[in-house]
Amino acid sequence: MSYTELEMQIIRWGEARGIVQNATAMSQAIKTLEETTELLDAINKNNIDEIKDAVGDIMVTLIMVCTIMNLDLMSCLKSAYVEIKDRKGYLTKEGVFVKKV
């Protein structure tokens, strides 16, 4: 199954449950935050199954935000890439990104 086909199935799922019609972008963003907390917990426990579930749930909530806002997730991702693609630098072992000019 392609990404586009899966995204359409997720959108149809959201429509069938009234999420697209009745939720707000903010309520879905809050749901994204909740799922992100679950991802952090799963990473902390090094539980691969829970990590996969949380990442998938985050993607679903982001697709719902995009659908509600009449955006396309891939165009959002492309826009982010265009913004970061020319950045120079590296991440230290301590997790700090050092920019290079």
Total of domains in the chain? 1
Give the span between the Cα atoms of 15 and 25, in whole angstroms.
14
CA dist list (Å): 89 to 80, 84, 101? 17, 11, 8
Q: Where does the pLDDT of residue 87 fall: very low under 50, low under 70, confident under 90, or very high at 90 and above?
A: confident
Q: Which two tokens mark 36?
A: 């992100």
Q: What does the pLDDT read at residue 51?
A: 98
Position with higher pLDDT, 88 vs 55: 55
pLDDT at 20 over 80: yes
Phi, psi of 97 (to 5 degrees): -85, 125
Can you give the pTM of this predicted structure? 0.88
Domain ranges, residue 16: 3-100
Phi, psi of 49 (to 5 degrees): -60, -45
Domain CATH code at residue 15: 1.10.287.1080
Instruction: Give residue-wise pLDDT tens across range 23-53.
Output: 999 999 999 999 999 999 999 999 999 999 9
